[in-house]
Structure 1
Amino acid sequence: MSCRGTAEKKTAKYDPIYRNPLVPMLVNRILKHGKKSLAYQIFYRAVKEIQQKTKRNPLSVLREAIDKVTPNIAVKARRSKKGVTRQIPIEIGKTKGKVLAIRWLLEASRKRSGPNMASQFSSEFIDATKGRGGAIRKKEETHKKAEANRASAHFPSSRNRRPIQGSINLDKKRIHRKRIRMNRYFFSRNKQKGKERRRNRNHGSTKPSRGGACLRKRNRMEIS
């Protein structure tokens, strides 16, 4: 029995204005060099711009953008025993997908051109709600990569062994038949090797030695 205890799930503290757990998640990822007050200033300015541009509740805009960018699958590199690195598509949960979506949105915001971070942040989130922008492209690239590597989806992943659902439909029957054929092949091969080992153990080696064959040939030539 393991002596390790279960880790406590950390929950982000609510911000003083919106009282929503989504706000500290975004602020903690905007944060740089420990300047949390500056990160909050950037976030509140961006939220104000979103409200002015869309005439909607800014938190609903943020949630909609994150939901549209959240991926269903991801690709992980796994090295096989032969040293071959394979890109294996795996299904990811809602929490992991949400974290990836926030990361992609902030990365795309930093790459945008604009007068300040708040305007870049607001523009990227508004574009994501409309189905465009750098974060949406990143999600599409991830899904395309997973679709291209669907042949490697039956390889086990160390952290996630769930079958992939959604846009990738695997031919499970084909994979199952392939595994059965491989198992039969290895079983018959091992069975044949076992028979050969038992025969050699009981009656000696069945392969004639090269020296004995040469000696018999020389004796026949002398008799003739």
Structure 2
Amino acid sequence: MTGELLRNPASTWADQARTSVAGARTGTLRTRSCRTPSTETLVSVEVADDGRVRVLLSGSSPAVPALAACRVATLTVPGPGSRVVRLTGSFTMDRPDESGVRSYTPTLLSVRLVEPGRDDVVVPVDAFWRSEPDTFGHQAAAVLRHLAAVHGEDLLAGARAQGYDAASVVPLVVDRDGVELAVLTLEGVDRWRVPFEGCVSAAGADLRTVRLPVECTCPDRV
């Protein structure tokens, strides 16, 4: 079992942000204007195949007059692990449908991955658009459950072999390229990124062919 501290380049952060946005169905929209109070509204989100985001608002939503006063707003959606993705952009309203629902499409100005207690990760907008969402996401929950339930001791031994004075290891995030673990020590919590060795991409693959970061021959691991 080999690994490295999680210090992802911008392209990897862009992949994570793009994947999170692609799977988003709800989020919060924060508007701001000198003429109206700042509002934070729970909204529905639609994402097209090309990654373009649409925010759906009812005609009575307080965000509608706020966006009319100032089109710049921030959409926040769940991100990987304990992070969220914040998309700030200029939101343009499409034509309302027959039910009166208004849809808004942002022209992105900034993309950030935000986690409490850590510096924001700024993802260049062009890198965000160049990245591809991870289609392995629908299998990720099964892999994480299996790692936690069956291979906790294996992961702990692997972390200790890498030099961590680990008390326990918790699988946090898995994607097509590897798994991110929280390593709990007496000094705090470290994040550890472990790549899938020998597996270029798990996207579209049968989960049983994906090599986990432990020796796993469990027939029912999914």
Fold match, TM over 0.5?
A: no
- TM-score range relative to shorter protein: under 0.3
More helix by share: 1
More strand by share: 2
With the length of structure 1 as denominator, give the TM-score of the two structures: 0.25
With the length of structure 2 as denominator, give the TM-score of the two structures: 0.25
Larger Rg, first or second structure (1 or 2): 1
